[in-house]
């Protein structure tokens, strides 16, 4: 798993969960339809999985968000490589690759009750998201991408301006869960 390097100081920590900001990642929105094979070859990633499925190779992670939409995460250096690998395909395989690295930040939620913590802001059935999958969903009113890395570890990508609001609730929830006695 391509664990993002964690910022050192947790934003919140309790027996229930720990909240951290992830180190910056390069991100790009890839939109295309038709033949996926040339793109899979150029990226070295499987793109043809079900919606919400992920694939990774080296530094790259790909997440299928829609029939014609993928989110790519990679290292800042590698994004230029991705861009130049896809550019030659454009003439025969029109697509849209838009750098959104600056748009979002990632929050890491980890701990024995991480999944339960997410229920304070997310209406989806968290337990129904398989480990290693991801979903575009809403958390406390903000559109997010929720990555489930394992039973006890999640990532949330959220637009930067919504992050303080979202983190505020996660911090409240981390304390609230820890205070529960039963």
The β-bridge partners of 21 are 107
Minimum Å distance from CB 98 to another protein? Answer: 4
Based on CB atoms, which residue is closest to another protein, 93 or 132?
93
Minimum Å distance from CB 122 to another protein? Answer: 7
User: Rule CB under 8 A: is residue 120 a binding residue for another protein?
Assistant: yes
User: Rule CB under 8 A: is residue 71 a binding residue for another protein?
Assistant: no
User: Rule CB under 8 A: is residue 63 a binding residue for another protein?
Assistant: no
Please provide the distance, in angstroms rounded to a whole number, between the alpha carbons at the two ends of the chain.
33
User: Rule CB under 8 A: is residue 169 a binding residue for another protein?
Assistant: yes
DSSP for 19-78 reads EEEBPP-EEEEEEE-S--HHHHHHHTS---S-TTBEEEETTEEEEEEETTEEEEEE-HHH
Distance CA 150, CA 92 (A): 39
Within 10 A of 86 (CB to CB), how many other CB atoms are there? 21
**Torsion angles phi and psi, residue 24, rounded to 5:** -60, 145
One symbol per residue from 10 to 39: x for binding another protein (CB under 8 A), - otherwise; what is it? --------------x----x-x-x------
Count the alpha carbons within 13 Å of 98 in the hemisphere toward its beta carbon.
9
User: Rule CB under 8 A: is residue 102 a binding residue for another protein?
Assistant: yes
User: Rule CB under 8 A: is residue 151 a binding residue for another protein?
Assistant: no
Based on CB atoms, which residue is closest to another protein, 112 or 175?
175
The β-bridge partners of 64 are 70
Q: Which residues bind another protein (CB under 8 A)?
A: 24, 29, 31, 33, 68, 94-104, 119-120, 122-125, 127-128, 140-142, 159-162, 164-165, 168-169, 172, 175-176, 178-180
């Amino acid at each position: 798993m391509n664990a993002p390097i964690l910022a050192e100081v947790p934003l919140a920590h309790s027996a229930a969960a720990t909240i951290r900001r992830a180190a910056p990642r390069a991100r790009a929105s890839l939109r295309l339809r038709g033949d996926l094979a040339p793109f899979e070859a150029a990226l070295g990633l499987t793109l043809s999985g079900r919606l919400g499925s992920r694939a990774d190779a080296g530094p790259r992670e790909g997440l299928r968000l829609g029939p014609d939409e993928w989110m790519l995460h990679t290292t800042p250096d590698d994004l230029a490589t991705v861009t130049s690998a896809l550019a030659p395909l454009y003439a025969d395989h029109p697509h849209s690759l838009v750098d959104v690295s600056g748009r979002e930040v990632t929050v890491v939620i980890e701990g024995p009750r991480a999944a339960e913590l997410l229920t304070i802001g997310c209406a989806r059935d968290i337990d129904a998201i398989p480990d290693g999958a991801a979903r575009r969903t809403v958390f406390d009113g903000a559109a997010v991408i929720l990555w489930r890395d394992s039973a006890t570890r999640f990532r949330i990508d959220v637009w930067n301006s919504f992050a303080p609001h979202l983190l505020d609730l996660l911090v409240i929830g981390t304390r609230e869960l820890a205070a529960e006695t039963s």
